[in-house]
Structure 1
Amino acid sequence: MSQTTTATGVSPESPSLPVVPLGELLPWALLGGLLLMLALYFVGAEQGATAMFSGTGIHEFVHDGRHLLGFPCH
């Protein structure tokens, strides 16, 4: 059986994953972590003791997620 290679030098029978340098991955990981922390704030702390926004719009938007994650809200 002969092996054929593509222009990239990878044979079709054994595809490999691309290598991503840590320097290119780090900013995206930090952005993802920041977005997760922001989501956790809105689900867990908004309309509580550390609320930054007035009204109940954010509370009602994340109300079911609050119960799903075990945060008390009423």
Structure 2
Amino acid sequence: MAHPIAPAAVTTPAITPLSVRAVAPWALFFGVLLLTVLYFVGAEQGATSLISGESVHEWVHDGRHLLGFPCH
């Protein structure tokens, strides 16, 4: 006679709230990263160019159009 296997007790993991002090450095880091990427995709050309030449423009050209920035 086979013994039925008892199902394991299902427990939900305890959710611990995050403090602002724990999240703030990560939010600042990703905010600066987002602004840097947005600058290079949207404004790195012409008078505001930090890097001379067309290399950055060519690398982000399709992303620029995808996000709706004009470049021509």
Report TM bin, short chain.
Answer: 0.7 to 0.9
Measured in 2, the distance between the counterparts of 1:16 and 1:26 equals 23
**Larger-gyration structure (1/2):** 2
Larger helix share, 1 or 2: 2
Partner amino acid for 1:55?
G
Instruction: Give the count of matched residue pairs.
Output: 64
User: Residues 56-71 of structure 1 correspond to what in structure 2 (within 5 A)?
Assistant: 56-71=54-69
User: Residues 1-74 of structure 1 correspond to what in structure 2 (within 5 A)?
Assistant: 12-74=10-72
Runs of 4+ in structure 1 over 3 Å off: none
C-alpha displacement of 1:24: 1.1
Return the TM-score normalized by structure 1: 0.76
Higher RCO (CA 8 Å, separation ≥ 6 residues): 2
Unaligned runs of 5+ in 2: 1-8
Return the TM-score normalized by structure 2: 0.78
C-alpha RMSD over aligned residues: 1.5
% identical aligned pairs: 56
Name the residue aligned to 1:8.
Answer: none
